[in-house]
């Protein structure tokens, strides 16, 4: 049986060790769903050959 948004949120939070306030679970779940929905748009990009970096190496621009 599929989990509800709130149940999925509770489960993930437990997994990462983040206690949630019960009265706010619905809001956290809504924010999470909204974030994931927006980030799903990135699946349309061809990123297969790209390595993620945290800090870009220094480079010169032509003057």
Partner 1 sequence: MTRDDIPWLSAAETATAIKTKQVSPVEVMQAYLARIERLDEQLHAYITVLRDEALAAARQAEQTVLRGGNLGPLFGVPVAVKDQFWTKGILTTNGSRVYRDFVPQADATVITRLHQAGTILLGKLNLSELAMGGTEDPPWGIPRNPWDLERTPGESSSGSGVALAAHLCAASVGEDTGGSGRGPASYCSAVGLRPTFTRVSRYGMTPMCWYLDTAAPMTKTVQDCALILGAIAGHDPRDPFTSRRPVPDYTARFGRDLRGVRVGLIRELYEDAGMHPEVKQAIHNALDVLRQQGAEVREVSIPLVALAGAIFVGVADTEGAGARDDILRTCAAELDRASRTRLQAAALVPAKVYNRALKARVLLRQQFLEVLHQVDVLVSATAPAPPPKHTALTAPFTNADDVRSRFFFRRAYTGCYALTALPAISLPGGFTTDNLPIGLQLGAGPFAEELLLGVAYAYEQATPWHTRRAPGAEG
- The nearer residue to partner 1, 1 or 54, going by C-beta atoms, is 54
Tokens of 63: 């003057």
User: x/- binding map, residues 6-25, to partner 1, per CB under 8 A?
Assistant: ---x--xx--xxxxxx--x-
- The nearer residue to partner 1, 1 or 21, going by C-beta atoms, is 21
Tokens of 33: 């769903």
Positions in 43-62 near partner 1 (CB under 8 A): 43, 45, 47, 50-56, 58-62
Tokens of 26: 């619905």
User: Helices 5-16 and 25-39: crossing angle, nearest 10°?
Assistant: 90
């Amino acid at each position: 049986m599929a989990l509800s948004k709130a149940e999925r949120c509770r489960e993930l939070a437990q997994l990462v060790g983040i206690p949630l306030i019960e009265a706010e679970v619905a809001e956290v779940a809504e924010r999470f769903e909204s974030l994931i929905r927006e980030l799903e748009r990135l699946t349309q990009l061809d990123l297969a050959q790209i390595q993620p970096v945290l800090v870009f190496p220094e480079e010169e621009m032509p003057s």
